[in-house]
């Protein structure tokens, strides 16, 4: 049927550490699942269990009859500088299977922005961005209907990242991505599987931002319930931390700071997406990549600081 893979009551325990208490999940065509959580909570372990490289501590992994995995880890495929672009992809074949589609090698390479005049160019003469795109094309050409990527956005420039996003959005099978990149998760994923610690794994339909919003609402409801249960002991008054005058002023402006920081990210992304990018900005690619990374990091720091101040205030 439509089920590519199903996890039934799957639990994972490593030593004394419970990574997954119990997980039930059905993977279907068109599902683009982002797996998120801190390092060491079991994300990569789950991928290995799905692939059959590890057995779960409990539960069953049922794989569909026609399921074909394509696993891409953080290491990149090596390119031979003496091959032409078309040789690096074709390996002697005229056609490539991508998802459920079959296309000519030429058509496939055009999806990765290789024009007719670049298809016969030697790999050693390609720019850094072109090599990244070619590597991406080699990864994705392995086909399969269950694509698994572990931190795929590491070391990719923005044009290549956009190509990866478009490739995944047009992929007909199931996509599972382990990533810390919330911008990428928002653009690509239609479901989030979050490792929240202590064996808890939470599924949320939609993108990463929607998951975060739901998580905040869940926490608020839990806090409200806790307040109803806890009775105040009049003999012991805990010292309550309050916002300082400086922190109050910071809280007043932090939303605007976040908006400005996100606008700056958007501005840099628009530069990368512009049609004449390579004409106008080719010499500044590394500089702009660093600028974008710093801008995205600032947004993360501001969100983190905002949550910190809100906690003190509440």
Q: For 23-27, 114-118, 137-141, 187-191, which range has the lowest pLDDT when averaged over its residues?
A: 137-141
Report pLDDT for 255. Answer: 74
Confidence of residue 86 (pLDDT cuts 50, 70, 90): very high
- Give the torsion sign (CA, 257, 263, 268, 272): positive
Residue 61 main-chain phi, psi, to 5 deg? -110, 115
Q: Flag whether pLDDT at 23 surpasses 90.
A: yes
Q: Flag whether pLDDT at 108 surpasses 80.
A: yes
DSSP state of 114: -
Distance CA 73, CA 152 (A): 8
Distance CA 108, CA 95 (A): 9
- Cα–Cα distances in Å, from 3 out to 56, 59, 173, 196? 20, 17, 11, 26
More confident residue, 283 or 189: 189
Q: What would the DSSP string read from start to end of 138-200? A: HHHTT--SEEEEESTTTT--HHHHHHHHHHHHT--SEEEEE-S-HHHHHHH-SEEEEEEETTE
Q: Flag whether pLDDT at 76 surpasses 50.
A: no
How do residues 36-72 score in pLDDT, each as one tens digit?
A: 998 878 888 899 899 998 899 999 999 998 898 988 7
Burial of 293 (0-12, 13-18, 19+ CB in 10 A): exposed
Residue 138 main-chain phi, psi, to 5 deg? -65, -40
- Cα–Cα distances in Å, from 310 out to 211, 217, 303? 19, 14, 11
Confidence of residue 234 (pLDDT cuts 50, 70, 90): very low
CA angle 24, 72, 90 (to 5 degrees): 135
Closest CA to 56 of 129, 128, 5, 118: 5
Closest CA to 142 of 184, 171, 178: 171
Q: Which residues pair with 60 in a beta bridge?
A: 8
Confidence of residue 181 (pLDDT cuts 50, 70, 90): very high
How do residues 260-309 score in pLDDT, each as one tens digit?
A: 888 888 888 888 877 777 778 878 888 888 888 889 889 888 888 888 88
Annotate 249-272 with b (16+ C-beta within 10 A) or e (fewer): eebeebeeebeebbebbeebbeeb
Mean pLDDT of 97-106: 79
Report pLDDT for 75. Answer: 45
The full set of domains in the chain, from first to last, is 241-313 (1.10.287.380)
Distance CA 198, CA 248 (A): 34
Q: Flag whether pLDDT at 113 surpasses 70.
A: yes
User: Taking all residues of the chain, what is their mean pLDDT, rounded to a whole number?
Assistant: 84
Q: Flag whether pLDDT at 34 surpasses 90.
A: yes
Cα 240 from chain centroid?
Answer: 38
Confidence of residue 195 (pLDDT cuts 50, 70, 90): very high
More confident residue, 54 or 17: 54
- The secondary structure element, H or E, covering residue 35 is strand 32-36
Q: For 107-121, 151-165, 190-204, 217-231, which range has the lowest pLDDT when averaged over its residues?
A: 217-231
Q: Flag whether pLDDT at 172 surpasses 60.
A: yes
Confidence of residue 158 (pLDDT cuts 50, 70, 90): confident
Closest CA to 208 of 33, 31, 25: 33
- Site of tokens 């074949």: 93
DSSP state of 73: -
DSSP state of 274: S
The answer to whether the pTM exceeds 0.85 is no
Q: Are residues 2 and 29 in contact, defined by beta-carbon separation less than 8 angstroms?
A: yes
Confidence of residue 82 (pLDDT cuts 50, 70, 90): very high
Report pLDDT for 49. Answer: 92
- Site of tokens 């099978």: 173
Q: Flag whether pLDDT at 116 surpasses 70.
A: yes
Report pLDDT for 314. Answer: 63
What is the share, in percent, of the chain residues with pLDDT greater than 70? 90
Q: Flag whether pLDDT at 22 surpasses 60.
A: yes
């Amino acid at each position: 049927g439509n089920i590519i893979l199903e996890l039934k009551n799957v639990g994972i325990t490593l030593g004394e550490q419970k990574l997954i208490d119990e997980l039930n999940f059905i993977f279907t065509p068109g599902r683009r699942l982002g797996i998120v959580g801190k390092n060491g909570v079991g994300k990569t372990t789950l991928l290995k269990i799905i692939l059959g490289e590890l057995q779960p501590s409990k539960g069953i992994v049922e794989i569909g009859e026609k399921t074909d995995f394509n696993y891409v880890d953080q290491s990149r495929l090596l390119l031979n500088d003496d091959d032409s672009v078309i040789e690096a992809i074709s390996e002697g074949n005229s056609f490539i299977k991508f998802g459920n589609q079959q296309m000519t090698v030429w058509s496939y390479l055009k999806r990765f922005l290789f024009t007719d005049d670049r298809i016969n160019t030697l790999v050693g003469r390609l720019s850094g961005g072109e090599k990244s795109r070619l590597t991406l094309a080699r990864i994705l050409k392995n086909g399969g209907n269950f694509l698994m990527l572990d931190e795929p956005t590491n070391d990719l420039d923005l044009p290549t990242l956009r190509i990866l996003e478009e490739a995944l959005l047009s992929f007909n099978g199931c996509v599972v991505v382990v990533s810390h990149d919330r911008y990428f998760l928002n653009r690509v994923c239609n479901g989030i599987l979050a490792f929240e610690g202590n064996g808890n794994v939470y599924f949320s339909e939609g993108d990463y931002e929607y998951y975060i919003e739901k998580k905040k609402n869940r926490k608020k409801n839990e806090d409200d319930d806790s307040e109803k249960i806890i009775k105040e002991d009049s003999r012991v008054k805990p010292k309550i931390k309050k916002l300082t005058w400086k922190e109050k002023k910071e809280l007043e402006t932090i939303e605007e700071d976040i908006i400005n920081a996100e606008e700056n990210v958007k501005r840099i992304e628009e530069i990368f997406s512009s049609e004449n990018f390579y004409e106008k900005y080719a010499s500044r690619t590394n500089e702009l990549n660093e600028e974008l990374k710093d801008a995205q990091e600032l947004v993360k720091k501001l969100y983190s600081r905002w949550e910190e101040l809100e906690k003190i205030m509440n």
